Every structure is written in structure tokens, then in C-alpha cells.
Amino acid sequence: MSGIRNLGMPFDPDLFSDLKMNRSAIERRAKSLGGRRSVKKEWQAAWLLKTITFIDLTTLAGDDTDGRVKRLCAKALRPVKEDVLLSLGAQSLNIHPGAVCVYNNFVGIAVKALAGSGIPVAAVSTGFPAGHTPLAIRLVEIRASVKAGAQEIDIVIERHMVLNENWRALYTMIARCREVCGEAHIKVILGTGELGTLTHVAKASMVAMMAGADFIKTSTGKEGVNATLPVSLVMVRMIRTYFEMTGYKIGYKPAGGISDSKTALQYVILMKEELGNDWLTPDLFRIGASSLLTDIERQLEHCATGRYAAYHHQPLV
């Protein structure tokens, strides 16, 4: 990642205590994102190729193996078939995902498989997905991930801190994690589907950024409700507010449930309209997904040949 890194700021509840979210207005605005915009033909292919660069290609399953992680990395190195790229005139664009995201114990495998590619490895740490482990143990996990070569650390917050509105504890926990990350960038997973209200989402977003988050992220992908457009609208507007306050550009990552191209493009549109073109870069926008790339490949093949390939022609791992 490039640019001026968020240094955070002292904890100040006066900056967010009066925040209140109007759910009906937010949902109305979010609904408009998919209803009035259409991207077709070569423009669709261009946007889908761009979307691949935003993906954190992810495997976070209980049955992950070294072999699966190696296959995921191989897919990251060649996310689209060469003949499709050639047909689209995109063979020289060096298209690859924003990162490969794995559990802490697979970081070394992924780092070795991606060596020299420039694709960073992101590790989920801090008691993923629930976050209910002692802080000292979570800090050990982060240090181990960084030592193994992870350039990005995805941490999970303790949701009870938000539900009980214990904002100072949340700030302290995130700040401690940021400290031990060192040069590795930190993505803070809020678990928005378990925070109760959009106002809680807004306040938790602001606290995370104040504590030094490089990215704020919706979900682990394991909750009952993961990324949604209304939640995303709240979070990106908090990012805009923080930028206006501090000059720091914070990244955004929706995760969980984004499995088709049409949905992914709605999130791209959201970023473009709410934050502008500066945020349409892997440094500031990621999509956490495991199956999205397969659908994008099918759409690109249709753009190139006029036919949809079977899903098994684009195996992920």
C-alpha cells in the first residue's frame, strides 16, 4: 500500500457521540445504486477487470490445507485465462487480486507461493471470527503473522464493546493491535451484522479510524448477515468524514455474500459516487470474496466469445 498512512488521533468521544443514522434515508440511497446504472459491452469488461484488482482472494475454511492455499495462490497469479485476456486486448495489464487472505498458520505457505509477484498476503488474526480470546494471545497471533511475512493483518473487534458502547476499550484494543502490526497494514473487521444498529456501525467505524485503522471492513464472512449496501454507505461516509477531519484516506472492505459481478459492481459504484476515483485503487478498496472471481471470469469470457463457460471451467482451488 502507498500514500500517507493513517496515524490515528487521541480518543475523543465528542467527535462521534452525537452521531445518529437515519435508516430509511440510508436504505433509500443504497437502493438507488443498483437501479439506475448499467454497464455493458467493452465498458463492462473494463470494470470487471478493474474489480479483480480489488478482490482479497480468500480461503478461510476449517478444512484448509497447504495444497488448497497453494492452488489459491496459483489462481491469484493467473486469475483470468490468457486467451480471454488476449481477446479483450488486456494481456499486458498485469491483472491480479489485491491480496490473498488466509489463516495465520498458512501465511508462510502463501508468502512462498507468491514470492516476487507483488501480491501481498493478508492474515486473519486476533481470534477470528469471534474475537473472544485474551488480548495478549491476539497480539501474539499478530506478531506471528507479521514474522511469517504477512503485509496486511485483518483483526476482529469484540462486538460486546460496541453493544455496551464501551468506546474507550474498543479504541485501546485496536490501538494495541495497530502498534504490534508495525509496517503491516491493519484492517479492522467490525462484524456489522452483529452490531445492532447503523448508529453503532457509524460510531465503531469512527473509533477504529481514530485508533489507527488503515482499512475498516464489514464482516468476517461468518456472520448471519455480512456486507450490505446500507451498512457500506454508513461506513464510507464515516471514511469521508474522517478524511475531512484529518486528511487521512482510510480504505474500505466489504466482505461476505458478494459472489456475483452485478453485486460487486454496485459496491464499485458506491465507492466512486461517495468517495471518488481516488478510492478506486487496491490501496483503498478491497472486496473480501472467495467465489466472486469465478463469476467475473464467466462474464469476461462472455464478453470475449459471446458464450458463458461452465463454472467448472474456472475452478478456484
Active site residues: 154, 217, 253
Pull the grid cell for residue 47: 470494470
Strand locations in the chain, DSSP E? 55-58, 99-103, 121-124, 152-156, 185-189, 215-217, 251-253, 287-289
Q: Measured on CA atoms in the order 199, 204, 209, 211, is the torsion positive or negative? A: positive
Question: φ and ψ at 218, to 5 degrees?
Answer: -70, -55
Q: Which residue has the cell 484529518?
A: 246
Question: φ and ψ at 121, to 5 degrees?
Answer: -105, 130
Alpha carbons within 13 angstroms on the beta-carbon side of residue 110 total 33
Which positions ≥6 away from 68 have C-beta within 8 Å? 59, 61, 317
